[in-house]
Chain A
Amino acid sequence: KAGVTQTPRYLIKTRGQQVTLSCSPISGHRSVSWYQQTPGQGLQFLFEYFSETQRNKGNFPGRFSGRQFSNSRSEMNVSTLELGDSALYLCASSSLGGNEKLFFGSGTQLSVL
């Protein structure tokens, strides 16, 4: 099976722009969750989608949004980018989405200038 695929691998944006990140889960996995990773902060939960519905949401501003398509692929959008949004964005998939092993993608490294 192919692993979790995230595109693009790197992104450079300027403040005020918006960005869309994509994640393709492992075939058959219905849960996709997104995490922001920054040095010293660890991984912070953004949101989780299961069967096209947002099931859980972390404490991030409304500028961060996401969606999931019928094929379980997920996108994350960040509008009105700020310098502090610079981070590695990881998505993770799992089959059932209930306290189980997460399979992470390689991440999208976002730099906001």
Chain B
Amino acid sequence: GENVEQHPSTLSVQEGDSAVIKCTYSDSASNYFPWYKQELGKRPQLIIDIRSNVGEKKDQRIAVTLNKTAKHFSLHITETQPEDSAVYFCAASYNTGNQFYFGTGTSLTVIP
């Protein structure tokens, strides 16, 4: 099956700086790559996603890039704010159902 690796496991940045989280996947058949944000004690929520026919997608301060050849995708957060502090999970999926393979998460801390 698919294997998703995520780095780093923890990340601290100063408010206003950028944060980058990277994920690699193993199965070239994967074609959908969402990112979820989980604040402490809360449920995961989708923040952005990208499909294999697109190389980059942006939504305000958040962007995701996908390199199918290298089988990796990254989350970029610019102008970080304290409310961006959370655990971020990347995921990959390749079948017609909702079977997602998640990374182990990155705990992001934005220091005011």
The count of chain A contact residues (Cβ–Cβ below 8 Å) is 29
- Nearest to A101 among chain B residues (CB) is B46
Tell me the complex Cα distance, A56–B105, Å.
23
Contact of A102 among B95, B96, B100 (CB under 8 A): B100
**Chain B interface bracket (under 10, 10 to 19, 20 to 34, 35 or more):** 20 to 34
**Counting chain A CB atoms within 10 Å of each CB, which of B1, B89, B96 scores highest?**
B96
Tell me the complex Cα distance, A43–B99, Å.
11
Asked if A43 and B44 sit within 8 Å, CB to CB, the answer is yes
- List chain B residues, Cβ under 8 A from A31: 97-98
- Nearest to B4 among chain A residues (CB) is A42
Binds B, one of A11-19, A63-71, A76-84, A104-112: A104-112
Contact of A98 among B6, B96, B101, B104 (CB under 8 A): B96
Given A101-B46, A105-B43, check contact A42 B97 (CB 8 Å). Answer: no
- Nearest to B96 among chain A residues (CB) is A98
Tell me the complex Cα distance, A102–B95, Å.
15
B interface, CB within 8 angstroms of A: 1, 6, 31-32, 34, 36, 42-46, 49, 51, 89, 91, 93, 95-105
A interface, CB within 8 angstroms of B: 4, 31, 33, 35, 40-45, 48, 50, 55-56, 58-59, 90, 92, 94, 97-102, 104-107
